[in-house]
Structures are given as C-alpha cells and as structure tokens.
Amino acid sequence: MEFNNKVVVITGAGQGIGRAYAHEFSKAGAAVVVADLNIAAAQNVEAEIKAAGGRALAVQVDVADKASADALVAQTLAAFGSVDVLINNAAIFSTLKMKPFEEIDGDEWDRVMAVNARGVFFCAQAVAKPMRAKGYGKIINISSSVVVTGRANYAHYVASKGAVVALTRALATELGDDGINVNAISPHGIVTEVPRDTIKPEQWDAILSAQALKRKGDVSDMIGATMFLASDASKYITGQTLNVDAGLRFN
C-alpha cells in the first residue's frame, strides 16, 4: 500500500509498535509525525526516518492534555499542510504493576484513563476539524485483547481499552457524514523492544496455548492491519475492531 502525499500522525511513536509504524508508513511514502511525550525518543525516530530519505517531524505531546493535542495538530498542519491519518497508539501499560483491583488507588486509575482513553478522545477532537474540511480522514485507535479476556490485576487498563472500543463506535457514527473512517485494532501478545515486566516467562505458555497460532507476535504483525485501515482499501469499513490476536480463544 502506498501513502504518497499522505500525512500520518502517530502518538507514542518514540518506541515499540509506534516506532515501527513510523518507519513503515515513511517507507510507503507518507510524511510522518512522530508524536511522543519523550521528545528525545521522538527526535531519534525522526532522525532515523530522515537518514533513510523520508519525511518526518518529531513533536512532544501529552495526549491527556487537550492543549497539547491541539498543538500537535497545529504543528503538523504548519509543517505538512494536512492530516490524513491519526493512529492513537500512545498508552500506559508496560510500566504498570500487577495488583488486585482493590489496591488500585484513584490517582493511578485516573492516570491510566487519562492517557489511554481521554488521550484518544482529545487527539480525535484535534484532527476532526482539518479532516472535516478535507472531507477525508482515517482514525485508528489501538485497543487490546484484554477487553474480551478481562485480564486480572489490570482493571484500570482493561477498562481504558474497553473505552477505546466504545469511543471508536461513537466517533464512527458521528464522523461518517464527513468522510472520516474510525476503526480500532485489538492486538494480543505483541513483543517489542520495550521491556515488559507485566508478562513473566512462565506466563507465555498459557498465553500461547490460548492462541490458534502458537507463536508470539511482533511489530510486523501489526503493520499490515494498520496500513489496511489507514488506506483507501478500507474506505467502506468504519466503526469496527480488527482483532490481531493469533486466533485468541478465551473461556
């Protein structure tokens, strides 16, 4: 799939899956906005893309802050003149410690919901105006398989990703008349370079046994699904959640 003359904004693009998205969309011809709270990480990805001959802009963003999300889009428009695709990838997960829901305090609950759910909302708000003006746009929200598996000891994370699915449906309904597609992706078991203390080695056997495909996923497994939803090949698809989960089964 080609994305020549398209501008793709990716939150949480300084590492992990977001970084992989940035590189692949650049290779496909897009101008990529590498948005991340960690500006040094975002600038590293920008430099990598430019060194490979691509177009990129690193922007520091706190997706949980509306003014910051609005500034991200303003900088994108100033640099590239358009916003065609938004990938709401930023989220809190790898740094969370497993704990029973009774031990999750209000501050931790609010922090996870602010980034994982409110951040999706604010970034969608920010791109809506330029996308409406153009009569075109693709918004892709990253949810998680935990919405259906109900993973224990991550009640706030599970709730936040459930909110992403619900918000996807709501925004698809509201933005359809403006030519904007809104879809979600629900990944499972994707391994990146980001350390994840949340999955112990002994837990992988149980994870893989619940999958039809008995292997761990990597970032390449997310690329095709995301590019499909970002491309015109999916122009008649909206309000959907695409499971990229190796055929996950759950009881």
Half-sphere exposure (Cβ direction) of 120: Cα atoms closer than 13 Å: 29
* Phi, psi (deg, nearest 5) at residue 101: -60, -25
C-alpha to C-alpha distance for 9 and 60, rounded to whole angstroms: 12
Q: What kind and span of H or E run contains 218? A: strand 217-218
Residue type, 206: A
pTM: 0.93
140, part of any domain: yes
User: What dihedral angle (degrees, nearest 10) is formed by the CA atoms of 103, 108, 110, 111?
Assistant: -160
Q: How many domains does the chain have?
A: 1
249, part of any domain: no
Closest to 237 in 3D by CA, of 175, 172, 186: 172
Residue type, 2: E
34, part of any domain: yes
60, part of any domain: yes
CATH number of the domain residue 73 falls in? 3.40.50.720
Contacting residues for 105 by C-beta, under 8 A, at least 6 apart:
none
Q: Which residues are catalytic?
A: 157
123, part of any domain: yes
Contacting residues for 102 by C-beta, under 8 A, at least 6 apart:
none
Containing structural domain, residue 116: 7-244
C-alpha to C-alpha distance for 28 and 52, rounded to whole angstroms: 12
Per-residue pLDDT of the chain (251 residues; tens, 9 = 90+): 899 999 999 999 999 999 999 999 999 999 999 999 999 999 999 999 999 999 999 999 999 999 999 999 999 999 999 999 999 999 998 888 889 999 999 999 999 999 999 999 999 999 999 999 999 999 999 999 889 888 889 999 999 999 999 999 999 999 999 999 999 999 887 777 666 666 666 676 677 777 767 777 788 888 999 999 999 999 999 999 999 887 777 65
